[in-house]
Structure 1
Amino acid sequence: MMKKHLLYILLFTLALGACKKDTTEPAIGNVDDRLSATLTAYQTQLTGAQFGWRGFLLTNSKVVGTFLFSFTDKNRTTMSADFNPTPAESSYRLKALQRPTLLFDSYSTLHLLADPTPSVLGGTTGSGYLADFEFAFLSSNADTIKLEGTFNKSKLILVRSKSAAENSDALTSPEAMATTLSKLRTYFKRTTIGGANCEVRIDVGQNIIGFNYLDAGVMKKVSSSYYVSGTTINLFTPITVGTATVSEINGVNFNTGTGFISGSIKGGEAIEIKEAIVPIEYDKTAAQRWFNAPTNGAYWTCFNGFTIDGVPDAYGLRTIPGFNFLIFYSKFNVAYSRLGFIVGGAYGAYGPAPIAAFPADGTIKFTNAGSFGTAPVAIRNIVTNTQNNFFKAAGFYVIQSGEKSYDLVAFDDARSWISFE
């Protein structure tokens, strides 16, 4: 009987202990307190930069923008950008959403890239350039903060500015880099990285750099959008080339003596980028694929005309009053194509009627079946130069540059090319 009573007492004691409220806090602290402390730390970091921050944005439509930001502890920010350099003040907040988030909560320079009205900055109706104005924090250290857009997944990298001089160069560096890279006159370019002989692809208009190289006989193609900081090309996404990982190219410089562009990748490997007149490998099916299968089923468009010796729109197509785009209507009728100049939303009453030929080497050549009229005197040289280049006897390599884009590259010297999409 005594054992039975002792058992009851023991069970009662255990039950009573289980009912007591545990008032101790976990060692790591309250979640809300920790989140509040994190937001405070980020705000202190943002406002504590004496010279502000340089910002590098990659929208979801692959548009790159360079910004300058300064933040105050009154939730005000002043920003400027390479596309809109006049400083403008707006507001910002730090808020705990699913992650600590930086919100630019009044209309700002940053909002221009997200504006859904094309007349504002030329973006797409309804979506702009698929940019963001609310960004979640991904990582940070003393000098760099990486963020991601909460809606369109834009990438925003903030780098602490070290001086007023660094700020003054920030918005002009992208154009200066484009000028340096454009000094290579040929479409095709070569370098060696990580033991691999590479063809370098540089699109200074879209801020994209890529490398094609053969690996055990198999062509590999890698690329990344980039931003410019001083004389450094920084890749938004590091890429592997041969045995090397390329995240940046430092000290980019054009050597007038050699005609090469020099630099070095992270880790110290020096590189030289040189002109070339042939591709490292050529797809002989691309020419007929381009001609027979325009992405909209009928024609291709070109917005910048010929690039010659690295100079975009060398003949000045975009200076034609009311110019919209150049059109290549491959099957305008059964006999010939049409290279048309769309001005004011309609065909200009001029331009040639090309006939395409496809040699066994996979190139494309054009002859002229006639003209749709004579261009006005004021623009006649532009039209004549464009069509004369189109009918160069040597013809063109046709390079598929993207899922829905092709480049026609002069076969004889690769020093002129035209892009269609």
Structure 2
Amino acid sequence: MRLRFQKISLFFALLTLVLQTGCWDRNELENLAFVLTMGVDRSIDNQIDVIMRIAIPGNVAGPTGKTGGESISQTTKPITITARSIPEAVSLAEATVERRIDFRHLRVLIFGEEIAKEGILPHLDVLERFPQFRRSVYVWVAKEGPARNVFLTAEPVLEKSVSRYVDDVARGVIRYGYSRMPTLHDFLNEVDNRQSDAVLPIVGVNPIVSSEKKDSSIKPMPTDKYHQEIAGNTEPGGKTLRALPRSGGNPSEFLGIAVLQEGRLIDKWSGWDARIYGLLRDSYRGGIWVFNTPNGNETFSVIIRRARGPSITVTWDGDVPHIDIRLFLEGQLMNVQSQESYVSTEGIAILESQAINTITKEVDALIRRAQKEKTDPFYLARSIQTQSLTMQEFDNLDWKNRFSNASFTVQADFKIRRPGLRIQSRSDESR
């Protein structure tokens, strides 16, 4: 009996060894090449250029107490493969890189403007299917050129790690509102929504700063030459799609958003437009706004924050909608360039009225621009979703065509809550 029990125990012990997982499919870090960023451009002969920036493990983080490499070019290496698709480019890259390509640490995918106009959904299919691509990846669109230019010129001011650089950019966009930083998951959800269109951030390459880049470092040009370069650029930075008038720093700049319909680029909006978009889409959280004073000769600056979400009400006149939009904002006075005495009940009201008039005009202009394109990236139809009995009824609303003919009114409630540390102007103090 005892011998039989020992045999049974031995059998189950051997059985557990068979059922245990082995290490035949192990992934050793020493055998992997991690792709941190990737770009896709239209190439010749109807092919695509796939640009991958691969991490150099020994240089990403240096010894304790020391920084890693001196620049991104020393912590990563770019490689460009021309192929018919992203999977084919990956397989061809395997023949040139010593280790197996791995995308589990990919942080951003950049599309060139040309291929974005053709449509990016066919190239995103692999990201939806292949499990190594996470839906937390950011998706950007290169402005007026290929994504490869962004890869070759990017030179962050502080960060040496590509991953931290991308995350810092995303946080900066939230702080100042000049763009929007949706993830792949957010973008695909917006594409699948029949009643709205998607947006992606625009990343541009500043030509002045790019010309200052020499051997992985930026050497600012002399003042006289810099002033010659920016001559004629009279519009405030961010108001148009033009590059910022600046010297030094990172050649890459994140101002504006790309509007995509069914995954195809149809319009580009400036940094100022992106803030208005954020107010309507309820993605705006805060930023510095500069307005002209009532006399028009000087400016005043306000940190404007979202007080609460916008109120959007849609009523119908037959098949034509009328949209009532009300924005709720609050601010902190940051600067009064004229040094006039505005810190009083009457003075603050004057500044608030000036800001409200400017914001409502910009909202009006952007909505009319969207109506001409028959696009609604603001998702204004979200206010009537609860009025539909079923999702099928809501999906069949044909909102974009109806929105193009809609009438609308815009109101903004804006209060300056804090005047800053200086209560009175210098002229009042000297009296």
TM-score, L = length of structure 2: 0.25
Bigger share in helix: 2
Structure number with higher relative contact order (C-alpha < 8 Å, ≥ 6 residues apart): 2
User: Larger C-alpha radius of gyration, 1 or 2?
Assistant: 1
Higher strand proportion (structure 1 or 2): 1
